[in-house]
Structure 1
Amino acid sequence: MSGLCGWIGNGASAADNRGLIEAMASPMGRFDASPVQTLQGRSSAVAVAAAGASAQLYQNGALTVALWGQAWLVDARMAQQAAEQGIGKTLADAWRRSPQLACASLSGAFVLAIIDEAAGEAMLAIDRMGTLPLSYQLAGEALVFGSSADTIARHPLTPARIDPQGIYNYVYFHMVPSPGTVHANQQRLLPGEYLLYRQGRIETHQYWRMRFEEHGNKSLPELKEEFRDVLRSSVRAAIGGQQVGAFLSGGTDSSTIAGTLCEVSGAPAKTYSIGFEAEGYDEMEYARIASRHFGTEHHAYYVTPDDVVAAIPKIAGVFDQPFGNASAVPGYYCAKMAQADGVTRIFGGDGGDELFGGNERYSKQHVFARYERVPGLLRKAVLEPAVFNFPAGEHFKLVRKARSYIEQASVPMPARLETYNLLGRYGPSQVFTDEFLAGADAGTPLASLSHTYGKSEAGSLINRMLELDLKITLADNDLPKVVKACELAGLEVAFPFLNDQMVAFSARLTPQQKLNGTQLRWFFKEALRDFLPNEIITKQKHGFGLPFGVWLQHHKPLQQLATDSLTDLKARKIVRGEFIDQLVGQHLSEHAGYHGTMVWVLMMLEQWYKQREA
């Protein structure tokens, strides 16, 4: 896999360090055979694995700069200097003036490391959206870092050790949210964050954060024109001289990117879709509608249960932490199809929901928030007594609905978003062994959500939720899903919606332009009403959801893989054996779609362990 790794504060000679950094970097070419470049000093070393301009290394005496990703400089004078002297020297000069300046000067998806051996200082940073990851661990006076935990584990000072809290967080969220990891004493940088190391001490700072301007005064025609210009510019910049294609699920985001790619390239875009032979899961017809509308060169593949069986160990192996988003499987097959077609970089539509207000929970929480505006005395003295003390209320549908509404509306944000959390529904004590729970805090997931939510300076509910989702849903979940699925297929991925100009534009929209009453994506859809097919504008959101629970009912090899994985998981003393037996024996037959999610999450946990131990 492509990536970046290194350390500062340990070593005896450049020759010795070269052998160690090469060993650390060895996993980074596992999937795409990217060339590895290294630089080393007496007490530091760094490696970057990537092709072409995605890898930049610079060294001048004791100062080393390493850059990985699709990045460019936003300042015209710095960009001119980079054209003349190289981006490494330009960033080194910026670092000497201000570490924050060096980070903020970059746009795009990147990981940056700057090491100054003479001063005993270093800086690490990732891009504003957290598209590419970077983990780090302080061991004594040494700072070891890597875009993959596999690289950090190869340094003798930082062997891998599993943190029970990371496993708990995984089962709760179906991924491990940053800044935590699944490894003890190892952390990850947050989106828009940089780390400073000085003589064995570290501190982190934000060089960028989302700031909403909630009182815009531009007219709708002005905004529409600006939006379309930014959209074209973002797609054009993402092409970057590559052979490009686009995921096309048939939703508004992927259709918009595919149509814009046709527009800016002046030729039919190559588009790729995944379908499923399962009722309620297949969206191929919408992808075909979008393809016909824009005239794309469309390619489609129907994922089968056998495909899922074949992909599960591979998906588990490409992630350096447990990852339970089942959509990684269709994403992988889609990317694999594009790679076989000669595409070297594929566009994802990720980010549209989190920038423009597209998730169903936004409208749902808007409805719940209305209850908060009812005067407290009226709620407590009149409404709630009337609803909860209504005679035989459980027999009346309207009363039951009112009780459910009040109960949920009374839960403060962001905990209200987790009302239907799967682990919460089962109960942690019913799922995990006592021994495991003794090493984990069941309150940590909600506390982390509250911490992130509480940092928002937005004045509206919708923007506070969007800011939370930019971190939890996008950076921690959807971006790793797509990036790793594409990496496994040997393909680069770009996200035009996450272009800095596009993010800044979305921040200037009013809350009502994102969520108009309960209308999701109001501005986005209005701006594209004469561009997208009406069927796409009005369709219900779906995506590349995998019908795992449905297929698990009748596909024997899939049943066997799931059963074997969960049986082996019992021996790790993490999950109660009786819970696993009940899950596959009773729960799954009662509601395959619902309980199949937990089967998947636990199966992928065991598969992740197996791949690490292989």
Structure 2
Amino acid sequence: MTARMNRLVCRFDPTAIDPTQDFAPTPGGDLTIDRRGLFLEASGADIRFAISARQLLVLFGRPHARESGLDAALKREGPGALLAGMGTSPATLANALGGRFALLWIDLDKSCIAGLTDRFGTHPICWSREGGALLLGSRAELVPRAAREVDPQAIFDFLYFHVIPAPRTIFRGTLRLEPGHLLTADRTGQRDVAWWQPRFTQTPVSDLPALEARFRDGIRDAVAREVAGDARTAAFLSGGTDSSTVIGMMKAAKEGAPRGYSIGFDAAGYDEMEYARIAARAYGVDHREYYITAQDLVRNIPAVAAHYDQPFGNSSALPAFCLARLAREDGYDKLLAGDGGDELFGGNSRYAKQKVFEIYRAIPGLLRAGLLDPIARATWSQGVPGLAKVSSYVKQAQMSPLARTEQYNLLQRLGRDSVLHPAFAAHTDADAPLRLRRMVWDGIAADTVLDRELGFDWRFTLADNDLPKVIGTTSLAGLDVGFPLLSEELLDISLALPDHYKLKGFQLRWFFKDALRDFLPAEILSKKKHGFGLPFGHWALTDPALKRLSEESLNGLVERRLLNGHFVGDLFSKLLPAHPGYYGEMVWIGMMLEQWLRANAPQTRF
């Protein structure tokens, strides 16, 4: 199995560029340039380039243009169709593109370099500075720095978020460009700005049927773009509304039965294969089922953990990898994933929960101040049946939505001082993750709490977590991946759609489901969301090999003086057996961290 990898390594010093030396014509294939002030290597199945005497453009991915003329030119000429537009305004050009992409542009006349990522950062660009030079790489370890040191704050962020959110990376002094951002450098300095910022508008809907038709057309067009071309394309099929919609539209876009891949778990409360079968029957899917086992985890955890350019803790990465590998073995080149429907159209249960808390805000102020608030503050109310729930409700309703989610954070609940070794904790700032969350929350351009929650999830749930999960595991299996539900047509609808269509009463995703009520099977429209989660905590208790791998991995973090040995002992002897579903998450992220360190930074110790 050969991983699908892009490789970009670049060092650009604007003060050292030779203004008299043009770019030499370069034949197709990989690109290498080594000249005064510039070193660049670019290669990979998803990288193409255009070059003229004075400009160079490196294009990641296969974007489409939103304007038909430019799209036709892009299909005809490739990256060359974009070269002139970059010189005018990289941000304007980026706004004209859709899909997954990143761009790197160099202009010798201006001694300038610019790099930008798409709206969700699906083709990452990492960067650093060394003297007056800008250093860039498609992965954190490819940034050509003289020294590469693991950043303890990045590890703390990982333990908090279970990923390392941009702009930080695992290496000190190396940053990851944030989604929708543009980085430029020239002789006057360096700038990192957003070229795209979502703005939610709550636009009134005058013709709902027409908007729903536009929504369906948007999905159909996005799926058709993804399956066009020579790549053999299949899809993930969980049996939820998103993946069922995508594979149903594949049936409409291309002749023949679409191929769908579904994961199953032989564990009560985790398996939803029956819903995948319902979708398969409804759309005539050529259906492949794979039931994952604890042995699959033991075999694949080290490779999956090591493949990412920094520790990554989403446990559904393993099921996604097993399906992607199966698709590759079956001869497929690309998979479509249904990520994005919940975050664009209000499908997460916490959105409805927030609405429950907003009821408190509607209660007259005198009643809140004179009765409810005193009950919430009174210690005696905690022991009175019914009043304890009132007290808890009032306390949570008084919190901001952001503060409320912070109290459920696993590291916060377990206690930083009990989990971490003092030698490691001394190098970390416990408030840094909270500052990042608040900065993102405050920066979202929205007038309602629900839209602010959506924008927040576009960053932390999609860009930093779910999309890297799917991109990383499919690339390890040697596949490309597409996300049709994140098309610009659907983003535009989401940004304008009023709250009461996203969340009607307490009905999640009302608009999405109403628009597809004659397309999706009734059982799938009414099912609760589940996804590709796995019963890791239960298996870590019952499977000897997985138990051994888990304990050995976390004890490795104890030896690195990263985790507290007493906590790890209690985790396996008391906490995990009592609540395997809850505490299994802590075991998982610790195991993935240690496996990444062993493969990529084995000397790390605090």
Percent identity over the alignment is 39
**Do the aligned partners of 2:140 and 2:176 also contact (CA within 8 Å) in 1?**
no
**Quick one: which amino acid aligns to residue 6 of structure 2?**
G
The 2-side partners of 1:83 and 1:529 are apart by 35
User: Is residue 126 of structure 1 aligned with residue 126 of structure 2?
Assistant: no
SS state at 2:347 partner:
coil
Written as runs of structure 1 = structure 2, the 5 A alignment for 1:206-605 is 206-241=194-229, 242-389=231-378, 391=380, 393-396=382-385, 398-605=386-593
The structural deviation recorded for 1:234 is: 0.6
Which residue of structure 2 aligns with residue 41 of structure 1?
A: 35
Residues 38 and 239 from structure 1, CA distance in 2 versus in 1: closer, same or farther, beyond 3 angstroms? farther
Which residue of structure 2 aligns with residue 75 of structure 1?
A: 67
**Do the aligned partners of 1:4 and 1:111 also contact (CA within 8 Å) in 2?**
no
**Do the aligned partners of 1:128 and 1:191 also contact (CA within 8 Å) in 2?**
yes
**Quick one: which amino acid aligns to residue 43 of structure 1?**
G
The 2-side partners of 1:158 and 1:92 are apart by 32
Residues 357 and 332 from structure 1, CA distance in 2 versus in 1: closer, same or farther, beyond 3 angstroms? same
The structural deviation recorded for 1:221 is: 1.4
The structural deviation recorded for 1:476 is: 0.1
The 2-side partners of 1:289 and 1:233 are apart by 24
The 1-side partners of 2:40 and 2:291 are apart by 42
Which residue of structure 2 aligns with residue 30 of structure 1?
A: none
**Do the aligned partners of 2:13 and 2:37 also contact (CA within 8 Å) in 1?**
yes
**Quick one: which amino acid aligns to residue 57 of structure 1?**
F
**Do the aligned partners of 1:178 and 1:190 also contact (CA within 8 Å) in 2?**
yes
**Worse-matched range after superposition: 537-546 or 405-414:** 405-414
Gaps of 5+ in 2: 19-28
The 2-side partners of 1:138 and 1:201 are apart by 11
The structural deviation recorded for 1:537 is: 0.5
**TM-score normalised to structure 1 length:** 0.92
Per-residue CA distance 1:146-180 (angstroms, 9 max, x = gap): 1211211xx2x343211111111100010011111
**TM-score normalised to structure 2 length:** 0.93
The number of residue pairs the alignment matches comes to: 587
Residues 515 and 442 from structure 1, CA distance in 2 versus in 1: closer, same or farther, beyond 3 angstroms? same
**Quick one: which amino acid aligns to residue 3 of structure 1?**
N
**Quick one: which amino acid aligns to residue 60 of structure 2?**
W
**Quick one: which amino acid aligns to residue 274 of structure 1?**
I
The structural deviation recorded for 1:386 is: 3.2
The 2-side partners of 1:567 and 1:222 are apart by 59
**Do the aligned partners of 2:50 and 2:80 also contact (CA within 8 Å) in 1?**
yes
Written as runs of structure 1 = structure 2, the 5 A alignment for 1:148-227 is 148-152=139-143, 155=144, 157-199=145-187, 201-227=189-215
**Do the aligned partners of 2:421 and 2:563 also contact (CA within 8 Å) in 1?**
yes
**Quick one: which amino acid aligns to residue 294 of structure 2?**
P
**Do the aligned partners of 2:154 and 2:171 also contact (CA within 8 Å) in 1?**
yes
The 2-side partners of 1:172 and 1:274 are apart by 28
Gaps of 5+ in 1: 15-34
SS state at 2:61 partner:
strand
Residues 436 and 151 from structure 1, CA distance in 2 versus in 1: closer, same or farther, beyond 3 angstroms? same
**Quick one: which amino acid aligns to residue 181 of structure 1?**
T
The 1-side partners of 2:279 and 2:74 are apart by 40
The structural deviation recorded for 1:265 is: 1.1
The 2-side partners of 1:83 and 1:267 are apart by 25
Residues 254 and 82 from structure 1, CA distance in 2 versus in 1: closer, same or farther, beyond 3 angstroms? closer
The 2-side partners of 1:425 and 1:387 are apart by 21
**Quick one: which amino acid aligns to residue 42 of structure 1?**
R
Which residue of structure 1 aligns with residue 21 of structure 2?
A: none
User: Is residue 95 of structure 1 aligned with residue 91 of structure 2?
Assistant: no
The 1-side partners of 2:83 and 2:35 are apart by 16
**Do the aligned partners of 1:7 and 1:142 also contact (CA within 8 Å) in 2?**
no
**Worse-matched range after superposition: 463-472 or 198-207:** 198-207
The 2-side partners of 1:532 and 1:105 are apart by 32
**Worse-matched range after superposition: 574-583 or 112-121:** 112-121
**Do the aligned partners of 1:39 and 1:59 also contact (CA within 8 Å) in 2?**
no
Which residue of structure 1 aligns with residue 25 of structure 2?
A: none
The structural deviation recorded for 1:373 is: 3.4
Residues 36 and 314 from structure 1, CA distance in 2 versus in 1: closer, same or farther, beyond 3 angstroms? farther
The 1-side partners of 2:496 and 2:129 are apart by 39
Which residue of structure 2 aligns with residue 9 of structure 1?
A: 12
SS state at 2:245 partner:
helix
The 1-side partners of 2:188 and 2:312 are apart by 32
**Quick one: which amino acid aligns to residue 59 of structure 1?**
I
**Quick one: which amino acid aligns to residue 349 of structure 1?**
G
Per-residue CA distance 1:330-352 (angstroms, 9 max, x = gap): 00001111111121111000011
**Quick one: which amino acid aligns to residue 12 of structure 2?**
G
The 1-side partners of 2:382 and 2:118 are apart by 53
The structural deviation recorded for 1:381 is: 2.8
**Do the aligned partners of 1:181 and 1:187 also contact (CA within 8 Å) in 2?**
yes
**Worse-matched range after superposition: 553-562 or 410-419:** 410-419
**Quick one: which amino acid aligns to residue 438 of structure 1?**
A
The 2-side partners of 1:534 and 1:225 are apart by 19
